[in-house]
Amino acid sequence: MNRSSERSVPYLSSRLSDPWKLAFLMQHHGIPTRLLDWTENPMVALFFALTSAVRDAATRAVTHPCAVWAPSPRLWNGRAFVHVSFIGGPLSVADRLLKPYAPLSGDDPPALPAAIFGIHNSARIVAQRGVFTIFGSSTAPMQEVFAAEAFPDRALVKYVVPADRAEAMLQKLFATGFTEAVMFPGLDGLAKETKRLFGFKE
């Protein structure tokens, strides 16, 4: 166990001996891992795309288009595991095909990322309907991997929201209940939502 793991013990309800659980916990708290967050809910994806939009500092108007990337786990994994004729969707961390990807496994992981279900060890993962890709030996962005590795056309799709439509869409999203307090259960999310409602800018 490294020094950071030892220092985390007072903040955990139990020791994490499973490397997968530790990786998901690290990802949740912002430590770089080989995991990339996705969601099963397109409205959640839209929430994150729109709330992270690039805005003018003075007017707060959205200045650049927003994008939602939508992978097909079935098509993606079908290509990533073509050598075993895989035809399923996201994999569980217990699946034998993920053994080379496992944190601290000592194996050389494959180059292509794999679509996986996450371990629901936080309220945020549950609220955000979190799923993931786990990267292997390559750190190339998924859109570059998609373009270079002959994936099926619908394995990764990009949807663009024009800058002039983004704010109206965001307000409609808030009105339907996709708010900061819902996406980030707890006091931090409630604080973000309260600041927005009272006109405070991030």
Distance CA 184, CA 192 (A): 9
> Tens digit of pLDDT for each residue in 106-134?
778 899 999 999 888 788 889 999 999 99
> Tens digit of pLDDT for each residue in 76-89?
999 999 999 888 89
Mean pLDDT of 100-105: 88
Residue 1: which pLDDT band, with cuts at 50, 70 and 90? very low
Residue ranges in the chain assigned as alpha helix (H)? 3-8, 19-28, 42-51, 73-80, 123-127, 142-148, 163-175, 180-183, 187-197
Asked if 127 and 163 count as a contact pair (C-beta separation under 8 A), the reply is no
Does position 70 have pLDDT exceeding 50, yes or no?
yes
Distance CA 167, CA 142 (A): 27
Does position 2 have pLDDT exceeding 60, yes or no?
no
